[in-house]
A and B are shown apart, each in its own frame.
Chain A
Amino acid sequence: MASILKVDSIGKTSGSTQDTMAGLAKAWVNFDGTATDAAARDTFNVSSMADRGTGLATITLTSAMSNSNYAGTTSCMGTNGDDDGRNYIAVAMPKDADEVYVNQFTTSGSAADAGYVAAQIMGDLA
């Protein structure tokens, strides 16, 4: 039987409480931007990945966000596991409620596929 717990906040037995729902990441993904269709290594709430061109990936969410004003954060490396890369940047931005653009480029500003990209999405689900 499905069960539902109705609460506004959750906290420990002492100290402050917090808005648990708002503070949760609604999606995250670790993917290879150099692979066909920006292959995901591990995900949560991601239904698919797409490659829109050099340095351009799209994340499609399984459960959509409530609007396109959510927040995306990223970190990346040009080559996965390279401990001395120092030449890549990635940004994540909402395209719409269920799609996120992740653009990758070199520190000189050229579009480039990154071998390791980690992205996290925060906001409200629909």
Chain B
Amino acid sequence: MASELRVNTLKDANGNNSIATSFVAAGSAKAYGYAQHRTSTVELKDSFNISSWSDDATGQSTWNINSDMANTTYTPVVSSSYDASAGGSQVGCDEVWVTGAGVFKHDTFFGNGTYYDNDYVYAVAHGDLA
């Protein structure tokens, strides 16, 4: 049976650390994902509310959200790393932009603008669901 709990405020069991339930709704990540973009096994390795991730070209990928956001002004943030070798990572940058309520894109590139692929690409999106 589906259940519905209606409250205004959450507190811990001692009655401390109060937080309004508005933070639960608006502060919950609406989607996240971990993609491996560099090595031979290019794939989406873990995700929540991501229907697919595509390797568009070197350093370029598209994230598709399963349950769409309410608009195109939500806030996806992506960080990435070249590989797991300590001190061996390439110096690079990430750029992210929204192209639709259910789509955002991500580029990785060196400081000189050359695209490259990363092994560890982590994305989190906050905003309001449709």
Instruction: For A125, list chain B residues within 8 Å (CB).
Output: 19, 23
State which of B7-15, B40-48, B82-90 sits at the interface with chain A. Answer: B7-15
Extra pairs beyond A3-B8, A28-B127 (6, CB < 8 Å): A5-B7, A6-B10, A75-B95, A77-B95, A87-B113, A89-B93
Interface size on A, residues (CB 8 A): 42
State which residues 1-33 of A face B: CB under 8 Å: 2-8, 20-21, 24-26, 28-30
Given contacts A3-B9, A6-B13, A21-B19, contact A26 B76 (CB under 8 A): no
CB distance from A92 to the nearest CB of B (A): 9
A120–B75 touching, CB < 8 Å? yes
A67: Cβ under 8 A from any B Cβ: no
15 A–B contacts from the bound complex (CB under 8 Å)? A3-B8, A4-B7, A5-B7, A8-B12, A8-B13, A21-B10, A25-B28, A26-B27, A30-B75, A41-B73, A77-B95, A77-B97, A85-B95, A86-B115, A120-B75
